[in-house]
Amino acid sequence: MEGVAINEITEAADVGFGSFYNHFESKEEIYSTLVDNVFKDFADVLDRVASGLSDPAEVVSVAVRHTVMRARRDPVWGRFLIREGFSARALSRGLGQRLLRDIANGIAAKRFVLADPLMGFLSVGGTVLSVIAADLNFVAPGAPASNVLKELGFSGEHLPERTAATLLYTLGIKRAEAEKIAARPLPAVDERTEAV
């Protein structure tokens, strides 16, 4: 947002400068609307993908794996998610609201054992954002520091599944079951609707 002027936005949208103010009061408002739309749309995709699942643990596993995989396919989206995932809006909008809901559903179903739901949310959300950053920096094809993990003796293989299993364990699922859930085939995502 800091790197673009309103006249650049209006030129790219092929609208008059004055028309901008008919819809938005500021550059910050258009940015906020963009953030809301991008992540709400992806959250809606995740909801559709998980709509046939009844186990809250599987819902979280599917959401985590699809999110990590989406960030790898679209690194700009992934970096945008990292930036916004640590913003003040994270708890109240889009993916944050969905994650809070999914954790609450797991607690209500007695599937997740958490003494502190906020810490559960922060653990899951923060880990997903950290994994995306690690994937984009160390694992993905063409990553700028791809040799670092090997030098440290770590593997970047199966990162989405490993992330989901670790987070399910954090939420109170036994390790063997968490690994089994995280290894299940993913429901398909309609690529046309995901690319928003």
Domains of the chain: 18-194 (1.10.357.10)
Say whether pLDDT at 2 is over 50: yes
* Ramachandran sector of residue 173 (left: φ over 0; alpha: ψ -120 to 50; beta: rest): beta
Element (H, E) at 19: helix 17-23
What is the torsional sign of CA 133, 4, 43, 123? positive
Mean pLDDT of 157-173: 97
Q: How many C-beta neighbours within 10 Å does residue 54 have?
A: 8
pLDDT given for residue 189 in this prediction: 77
Q: How far is CA 27 from CA 49, 61, 67, 77, 92, in A?
A: 33, 36, 28, 20, 21
Q: Using CA atoms, how far apart are residues 55 and 40, in angstroms rounded to an integer? A: 22
Say whether pLDDT at 58 is over 80: yes
Say whether pLDDT at 195 is over 60: no
Q: Using CA atoms, how far apart are residues 194 and 49, in angstroms rounded to an integer? A: 11
pTM assigned to the model: 0.84
Q: Using CA atoms, how far apart are residues 25 and 43, in angstroms rounded to an integer? A: 27
pLDDT given for residue 178 in this prediction: 98
pLDDT given for residue 1 in this prediction: 61
